[in-house]
Structure 1
Amino acid sequence: MHLVKTDSENKDFKDLVSQLDAYLTIVDGDEHDFYHQYNSIDALKNTIVAYIDNKPVGCGAFKAVDSNIVEVKRMFTRPETRNLGLATKILKGLEDWAKELGYKKCILETGKRQVEAVQFYNKNKYKVIPNYGQYANIENSICFEKALI
């Protein structure tokens, strides 16, 4: 497995995000349109694609919130490659990249119905915080943060 730093123009990243969106359409149900409006990949300059045997199997990204904070976005691994530690490697890659660029903290939002995602972020030492920004009054949302030390 290897990670490639890229941006949102990368074809493999776009293909993986399409698979993620198809999954989220089902999981988010009636709330999908609300969430989807905040998940545009048009301006993501910091994306990672994971490959196994030169096949794209996972991705993640971050975008700057301010000069100290990035928001983790578009985390996904293909179902057949889950439970191999790929998501943790992608997330760690994003955290390290953000840290290299001088950021101090990662934040993110996921849905409470995405039980595996909630467990994943807890396992990776993210702490639950009050819902921020557009997620402030959204009952299904759960927000996390992690200091980049």
Structure 2
Amino acid sequence: MNSSALALELSLARERPDQPEVLALIHALDTFQSQLYPAASNHLLDIEALLAPEVRFLVVRDAQARVQGCGAIVLREDCAELKRMMVRPEARGQGLGGALIAALEVEAVCAGRPLLRLETGVRQRPAMRLYERMGYRRCGPFGGYRADPFSVYMEKLLGA
């Protein structure tokens, strides 16, 4: 799907994460993550945390206004952290993940956080490939994270 087709068929906007259709997507992400990793290696933000003022939560909807993906950034003191990235399995491969990350990068820059960091799981190779294609490079644990054999830490200096 090219970017003009993407723009015609999808909308990407800030929305609340506590809407029923968005909650269902977040629940699917939680279920997926809990099957891949032990609880101590799941660093999920709950809905209350996603509603905090320092969070920018974006939703991708299709032409019928159905939720196809979501993602968030959390504004930290020295960076923004990418969280809660999810695209429905049936909607993958159409550029939604990349479009969502690009929009979240704009949100980070607009909030004065040109460094975007993330933690993802070692068993999520498609996600890691997407992040690498978008310019993210591996780094060490940051913030409150500790070394974890199930985690991969990445960062990108935006605008570089």
3-state SS of 2:126 partner: helix
Instruction: Report the counterpart of residue 12 of structure 2 in structure 1.
Output: 3
Q: Pick from 68, 76, 80 the counterpart of residue 65 of structure 1.
A: 76
Pairing 1:1-149 to 2, within 5 Å after superposition: 1-28=10-37, 31=38, 33-36=39-42, 38-44=44-50, 45-53=55-63, 54-66=65-77, 68-149=78-159
**Alignment identity in percent?**
28
Q: TM-score, normalised by structure 2?
A: 0.83
3-state SS of 2:47 partner: coil
Q: Where does structure 1 lack aligned partners over 5 or more consecutive residues?
A: none
Alpha-carbon distance between aligned partners in 2 of 1:12 and 1:24, rounded to the nearest angstrom: 19
1:40 shift after superposition: 2.1
Answer with 51-60 or 132-141: which moved more.
132-141
Residues 36-81 of structure 1: CA deviation (Å, up to 9, x unaligned): 4542231223100001121100000011221x31110000000000
Q: TM-score, normalised by structure 1?
A: 0.89
1:90 shift after superposition: 0.5
Instruction: Report the counterpart of residue 3 of structure 2 in structure 1.
Output: none
Greater fraction of residues in strand: 1
Taking only aligned residues, the RMSD between alpha carbons, in angstroms, comes to 1.6
Alpha-carbon distance between aligned partners in 1 of 2:145 and 2:127, rounded to the nearest angstrom: 17
Q: Where does structure 2 lack aligned partners over 5 or more consecutive residues?
A: 1-9
The 3 A distance-change label for structure 1 pair 69 and 89 is: same
Contact kept? 1:135, 1:141, Cα under 8 Å: no
